[in-house]
Amino acid sequence: MTDQIDFNLDTQNLYREESYTDLKAGAIRRLIPVKTDGTDDSAKAEVFVGTTQLLTPEGPLPVQARLMANNFQEALQVFPGAMRQATHEMIAQLEEMQKQYKQKEDSRIIVPGQ
């Protein structure tokens, strides 16, 4: 079964990761493009990803979004809005899934005795 899984890394798309957190609201991952020898690849832009979690009765729910930023300072500035937007989108998706599930359950025909 594992013979069918491609475990090769895309050597044209390698990043080194740094993580920053305030130990409260969340974290920002800074992905720095690198070449196959591990040196920085200045031909590509850095990528910033914000993460946080919402506490629910079922436990923590992770929220993640790409931060549209050119540097760490900008990533810090856009973090709150990006997390807010990602949370709204996640809630909308969950509501849609609940709606579809309810429609499926409501459309079931129950035949007595079967």
Gap between the Cα atoms of 2 and 7, Å rounded: 9
What element of type H or E holds 32?
Answer: strand 27-34
Residue 108 has pLDDT above 90, yes or no: no
Q: Which of 87, 84, 83, 88 is closest to 28 using CA atoms?
A: 83
Other CB atoms within a 10 A radius of the CB of residue 52 amount to 22
pLDDT at 111 over 70: no
Per-residue pLDDT, averaged over 24-40, amounts to: 97
Q: 45-54, 57-66, 102-111: which has the minimum mean pLDDT? A: 102-111
Q: How far apart are CA 74 and CA 42, in angstroms?
A: 19
For residue 75, the SS3 value is helix
Q: Which residues pair with 66 in a beta bridge?
A: 49
Please state, for a pLDDT cut of 70, what percent of the chain lies above it: 92
Residue 40 one-letter amino acid: D
Distance CA 27, CA 96 (A): 28
Q: What is the mean pLDDT of residues 62-66?
A: 97
CA distance 29 to 47: 8
